Structure 1
C-alpha cells in the first residue's frame, strides 16, 4: 500500500511539472524596461551592452513568430520574426512555401519553386528583435503571422558582461548561420 501511495505522489508531481512547464511556455514574454538614448558605448540592458552598427528599416509580411524564454539570447531578444518582403510578401507565392521556426532558425521548404531560390533567400529572413521600450514590446506582443508590419531601429552587436556575444548580419546576401538580423527596434507598427 505504501509503494502505491509513493507512486501516485510521483505521478502527481510529474503531472504538475508538465502543467507548470506548459503554463510557463504559454505566458507572454515579460515587458522590457525603457532604455533611453544610446551613450558612447551604446544601450545597456540586463547586463548587456548593445552597440548600434547601422540604421535599419523594413516593411514586410510576418511569415512566422517564435517566442523564447530559456535560451541565452532571450535575456535581450525574447521574440524572433521570420519576415518576407518583395516576392516573399506575396500571398500567392507564400501559399506554395512551407515555413517553420525554432532554435533561432527560420526554415522553408517547397515542392516546386514558385520563385527562384535566390529570391527566397534574399527576400526573407529570421530577425531577432530587441524592443527598445515598453511601447515596442507591447506592439511586438500583438504581431501575428500573415500581418504586414513596418519596423525601424538599429542593427546591433550585443555583448554580455559574462562574455556572451551576438552580432547582426549587415547584408541580405548571406544565408545560414550568422545571417539573421539582430535589431534594436525603436518603432513597430502594423500596415494592415
Structure 2
C-alpha cells in the first residue's frame, strides 16, 4: 500500500507541477532574449532589397476563385518575426472577399530593431490586416526605427511554400523573395506599399512569394519550460490511466 501511495503522490505532484510549468512557459513563450544575447543572422541586419520589375500581370486560381496578380517590384526581405496572423480564407474579411491566397501576415523587424532594441519592452500584435506596437519605455521608443518594421501580406499558391509559411512562429528569423504586387478577384482588390517610410492605412507590403526560408528559430528557457510542462502532463495522464485501469489508484 505504501508503494501505491508513493506512486499516486508522484503522479499527482507531477501533474500539478506540469500544469504550472506549462501555464508559465506558455505565458512567456514569446519573450525575446536580451539584445546582447540575441543571435541575429547577418541577413537580418540588412535593409530589404527592392528593384523595379517589368513583368506582365498573370492569373491564377485557388479554391475555384480566379485572381489577377500585377507584380511591381522584385523584393527581398530578411527579418525577425515579432507578430503574425495566419489566414485560411475561412473567417472574417478573408472569407467575405474570398481571399484564399493571402496565407499569412508577418510583422517583422530588421537592422537596429532586431539587433539593439529591447523588444520585450514592446507589445506587438496583428489585427486582420495590420501590425501594431506600443511601448511605455521612452528610451527604447527613441531607439526604435519605424522604417525598420513592416507588416507583410504574404501571397502564395505553391503548397510547399504555404507549408513553410504555416510553420512560422514569433521569434523566427525569416528570408523571403518575391514581387511587391497588387492583386484582385471578382470581389475587390488589394494594393501594396512600395516604401518603408509610410505609416497607417496602405503601409503594408503585399508580396507574391517565390522563395521562403526560416533562417533560425528562437529557443528560450521559457519555451523549454513550456515543452517540459506538456510532456509532464502527458506522462502523468498516461500513468494515471494505467493506475486506474490496473486498480493501483483505487
8 A contact 1:93–1:115 mirrored in 2: no
Query: What displacement does 1:176 show?
Result: 0.4
The answer to whether residue 209 in structure 2 is matched with residue 185 in structure 1 is yes
Give distance in 1, aligned partners of 2:80 and 2:123. 15
Aligned to 2:107: 82
* Worse-matched range after superposition: 176-185 or 66-75: 66-75
Which protein, 1 or 2, shows the higher relative CO under an 8 Å CA cutoff with sep ≥ 6? 2
Contact 2:58/2:70, CA 8 A, preserved across alignment = yes
**Separation of aligned partners in 1, 2:59 and 2:119:** 37
Following TM superposition, by how much is the alpha carbon of 1:40 offset from its aligned partner in structure 2, in angstroms? 3.5
SS at match of 2:84: strand
Distance of 1:104 and 1:117 partners within structure 2: 26
CA–CA distance in structure 2, aligned partners of residues 94 and 118 of structure 1: 9
1:60 pairs with one of 76, 79, 85: 79
Task: Provide the TM-score with structure 1 as the length reference.
Answer: 0.73
Determine helix, strand or coil for the equivalent of 1:108.
strand
Cα contact 1:87–1:93 (8 A) shared by 2: no
Structure 1: runs of 5 or more not aligned: 1-38
- The verdict on how the C-alpha distance between 1:132 and 1:91 changes in structure 2, with shifts beyond 3 A counting, is farther
The structure that is strand-richer by fraction is 1
The TM-score normalised by the length of structure 2 is: 0.57
Q: Which segment drifts farther, 78-87 or 169-178?
A: 78-87
The C-alpha deviation readout for 1:52-77, integer Å capped at 9, x for no partner, is: 01100011001111123322364220
Residue number in structure 2 paired with 1:140: 165
**1:29-52 deviations in whole A, cap 9, x for unaligned?**
xxxxxxxxxx84324233110110
What is residue 247 of structure 2 aligned with on the other side? none
Contact between 2:154 and 2:206, CA under 8 Å: does it hold in 1? yes
Which has more radius of gyration? Answer: 2
91 and 188 in structure 1: CA distance in 2 versus 1, 3 angstrom threshold? farther
Report the 3-state secondary structure (helix = DSSP H, G, I; strand = E; otherwise coil) of the residue aligned with 1:144.
coil
**Is the 2:73–2:181 contact (alpha carbons within 8 Å) kept by the matching residues of 1?**
yes
Q: For 1:102-113, what aligned pairs fall within 5 Å after superposition?
A: 102-113=127-138
Rounded Cα–Cα distance in structure 1 between residues aligned with 2:137 and 2:80: 21
Secondary structure at 2:118's aligned position in 1?
helix
Name the counterpart of 1:9: none
Partner Cα distance (1:124, 1:141) in 2: 21
Q: In the comparison of the two structures, how many residue pairs are matched?
A: 152
- Structure 1 residues 115 and 109, CA, compared in 2 at 3 Å: closer, same or farther? closer
